A and B are shown apart, each in its own frame.
Chain A
């Protein structure tokens, strides 16, 4: 009744192509932003900010990145965690070599290093597809992880082999390192996510995104229509890796505060992000948020939420339930609903549009 477009006329091409054509949607997104920027930092406890919001915000960018590659361009990748690692290590090297430069600049710049590596490992995608490409990107994952452990220059010859995030300030306010306030970190991560999501959404809705989708649906047909496969696929790899790189830098610098390469950017994380893409919905921006939220929040809610409301469940059992739920849901969604939670959201919106007179 309230959610319908009756009476909203589009008078220009621009308004016809808008991302949120409905006024209700625009108001909704403003409310969500206001909640995220004002209400969450004011109301949420440190525990929720630190264990749910920060990893969610950091990982959502990686999920968007993989979604660009897998969901929009149809190229599967298992090297996501490796590309995240490139971002994290690039940011670490940059900020230790040039400590005076604003750390936020370096977080963004580290994405370009990751994009460069992504293009190199994306080259085989021109020749191989599907499972074989997955194996090629798997090689990227293992090679990059090997490099993080074996090249001591990357972690400044630290005897413990880990990277530790130093204190960095922006306008006198500490933003990274142990003394930075959690609210500051949250707002920074949120801003990165909002801006980069806006950029990604514009890319996928524009000419580039359409050529990606054409390649995904049938690359020979796309080539016949004049889309250059090499440039398009490599651009998808570059943009995807850029997002993963920024995500990795945020993950270490804003969320973890230090990382040991062998454990943080392992194949496990690559799979988790792939599952998030599948659960959230292949080829959907909002799906990336659903997927990342689901993957991050489910274990925490099961492990700490259920005992808090009095359902006795040990951590070990909760972890096993998480594995079962995510595995079952991934298979279920792949078979029944490849567009994932995003499709359910769309169906709900469609139903709401015609409510209360469905026929």
Chain B
């Protein structure tokens, strides 16, 4: 009796499920499957980013009816920051004809880069992933604007020089780097080493194993002992708030601790309470809701109850980073529509759209984000741009801008990237030479 009832219930549930299928595809749309991690160890960083992207595209659909009159069919694919699931999401994105793949993890980027030119789906890894992908001649299908970790290292040192009163004042200083002991964490080391030789400062590295992210007391004691003048943080997830808290506990001046842009979440600084005041991080876009585009999101998405985010979290650093990413992708889709004259574009078209991406200061204003970020321009050869960044500072409740735009040392970084791209192509025997034609920016 019981089992029959259960079976009946299940059957009814299934029927109801089928009935709930709404006729999708009746109108034309552009599909975009976006990797997210709302669960797992890194969800603290993953959720605000996902909310930002999602809300931006929902806003475009609600306000403008999509891009160029075509609705964007935005879908999330949950990865848990796990490469196996991210590969699954690649297949999912491919089967749904997503116009771009956004890995949101270095492992996922590395696993999918070799597939991009075969499945004709561009990869957009914003300031993470394979740094060498900046070389468009080798990686026509991968884009990683606005700057690489190597550029970040260059900006770090330039900012420290500004504070110290000139690059020549760096001589004899000790700069520490706390890094997640993973490929991501070690990215800036070669550039920092080269700069240390050139400017005469000492570089000390303090690797944090992933399992020890929340236990850094010995690290900070070592920093004290080494009389480190500045501390750089190349971390992600739970490692960042711990570093900020330990800096406070050991009394290290917080305004001499600078995180990479992934160590600049509001939830990285907030848990340390008043101890976090003065903590610095790199960023390339503004925080806050004081932009027409964020106001539009509030009006067209949040007020209609279509956002997953709490209202007070909108405008936080990582949320705005999601919006920034959404704006770049939307602009690439617009470019693709203009280049091809089609309304519904494909991944191949959007790849061309990325290569002519050019958001000037005036264009940022048109997009509803005046002075939100530095102008971004990509070319067929340069898929990164090495754009300017600035330093933000935590005042105890929110981030504030604390420096001017600082341009990375492109002349130093670029040859290193080209070398890395060459090494990638040679170690991956059979890596195809670029056959994609180059569009002229208009």
Q: Which residues does A use to contact B, with CB under 8 Å?
A: 45-47, 50-51, 55, 96, 99, 142, 146, 149-150, 156, 158-162, 164-167, 177-179, 255-260, 262-264, 266-267, 299-300, 303-304, 309-312, 314-316, 318-320
Q: Which residues of B contact A47 (CB under 8 A)?
A: 91-92, 94-95
Interface of B is mostly: helix
How far is B430's CA from A150's CA once the two chains are assembled, in angstroms? 28
A166–B428 contact, CB under 8 A? yes
Residue of A nearest to B13 (CB): A311
The minimal Cβ–Cβ distance linking A306 to chain B, given in whole angstroms, is 8
Q: Which residues of A contact B428 (CB under 8 A)?
A: 164, 166-167, 177
Contact partner, A162, options B14, B92, B183, Cβ 8 Å? B183
Contact partner, A167, options B20, B182, B209, B430, Cβ 8 Å? B430
Q: Which residues of A contact B187 (CB under 8 A)?
A: 159-160
Q: Is there a chain A Cβ closer than 8 Å to B137's Cβ?
A: no
A–B complex contacts, Cβ < 8 Å, 14 sampled? A46-B91, A47-B92, A142-B211, A146-B209, A159-B132, A159-B187, A160-B130, A161-B183, A165-B114, A177-B430, A178-B115, A263-B107, A264-B83, A309-B17
The minimal Cβ–Cβ distance linking B174 to chain A, given in whole angstroms, is 24
Q: Is there a chain A Cβ closer than 8 Å to B76's Cβ?
A: yes
User: Hey, what's the 0/1 contact readout for B90-109 against A, CB within 8 Å counting as 1?
Assistant: 01101100000000011100
Contact partner, A256, options B78, B80, B87, B420, Cβ 8 Å? B87
How far is B82's CA from A264's CA once the two chains are assembled, in angstroms? 8
Q: Which residues of B contact A267 (CB under 8 A)?
A: 211
Q: Which residues of B contact A309 (CB under 8 A)?
A: 14, 17-18
Q: Which residues of B contact A262 (CB under 8 A)?
A: 181-183, 210
Residue of B nearest to A268 (CB): B82
A311–B17 contact, CB under 8 A? yes
The minimal Cβ–Cβ distance linking A163 to chain B, given in whole angstroms, is 9
Given known A167-B428, A262-B210, A304-B92, contact A177–B107 (CB-CB < 8 A)? no
Contact partner, A318, options B78, B81, B84, B183, Cβ 8 Å? B78
Contact partner, A303, options B17, B20, B78, B186, Cβ 8 Å? B78
Given known A263-B83, A315-B77, A316-B38, contact A51–B17 (CB-CB < 8 A)? no
Contact partner, A320, options B39, B183, B427, Cβ 8 Å? B39
A149–B182 contact, CB under 8 A? yes
A300–B88 contact, CB under 8 A? yes
Q: Which residues of A contact B39 (CB under 8 A)?
A: 316, 319-320
Q: Which residues of B contact A320 (CB under 8 A)?
A: 39
Q: Is there a chain A Cβ closer than 8 Å to B429's Cβ?
A: yes
Q: Which residues of A contact B181 (CB under 8 A)?
A: 149-150, 262
B107–A310 contact, CB under 8 A? no
Given known A258-B111, A260-B182, A264-B107, contact A96–B427 (CB-CB < 8 A)? yes
Contacting residues of chain B (115-130) with chain A, CB-CB under 8 angstroms = 115, 118, 130
Q: Which residues of A contact B105 (CB under 8 A)?
A: 263
How far is B91's CA from A179's CA once the two chains are assembled, in angstroms? 15
How far is B38's CA from A179's CA once the two chains are assembled, in angstroms? 32
Q: Which residues of B contact A160 (CB under 8 A)?
A: 106, 110, 130-132, 183, 187
How far is B114's CA from A159's CA once the two chains are assembled, in angstroms? 17
Given known A142-B211, A315-B36, contact A162–B107 (CB-CB < 8 A)? yes
Given known A156-B427, A178-B114, contact A260–B183 (CB-CB < 8 A)? yes
Q: Is there a chain A Cβ closer than 8 Å to B85's Cβ?
A: yes
How far is B18's CA from A260's CA once the two chains are assembled, in angstroms? 40
Contact partner, B190, options A45, A159, A260, Cβ 8 Å? A159
Residue of B nearest to A318 (CB): B78
How far is B95's CA from A142's CA once the two chains are assembled, in angstroms? 37
Contact partner, B118, options A178, A311, A312, A314, Cβ 8 Å? A178
Contact partner, B427, options A50, A158, A300, A318, Cβ 8 Å? A158
The minimal Cβ–Cβ distance linking B188 to chain A, given in whole angstroms, is 11
Given known A46-B91, A310-B18, contact A260–B110 (CB-CB < 8 A)? yes
The minimal Cβ–Cβ distance linking B160 to chain A, given in whole angstroms, is 24
Q: Is there a chain A Cβ closer than 8 Å to B21's Cβ?
A: yes
Contact partner, A164, options B21, B36, B114, B131, Cβ 8 Å? B114
B78–A314 contact, CB under 8 A? yes
User: Hey, what's the 0/1 contact readout for B170-212 against A, CB within 8 Å counting as 1?
Assistant: 0000000000011100110010000000000000000001110
How far is B209's CA from A149's CA once the two chains are assembled, in angstroms? 10
Q: Which residues of A contact B111 (CB under 8 A)?
A: 256-259
User: Hey, what's the 0/1 contact readout for B8-32 against A, CB within 8 Å counting as 1?
Assistant: 0000001001111100000000000
How far is B38's CA from A316's CA once the two chains are assembled, in angstroms? 6
B183–A310 contact, CB under 8 A? no
A315–B110 contact, CB under 8 A? no
Contact partner, A260, options B107, B132, B420, B430, Cβ 8 Å? B107
Residue of B nearest to A49 (CB): B91
How far is B209's CA from A310's CA once the two chains are assembled, in angstroms? 43
Residue of A nearest to B115 (CB): A178
Q: Which residues of B contact A150 (CB under 8 A)?
A: 181
> Which among A156, A159, A312 has the greatest number of chain B C-beta atoms within 10 A?
A159
> Which among A51, A167, A263 has the greatest number of chain B C-beta atoms within 10 A?
A263
B20–A310 contact, CB under 8 A? yes
User: Hey, what's the 0/1 contact readout for B213-224 against A, CB within 8 Å counting as 1?
Assistant: 000000000000
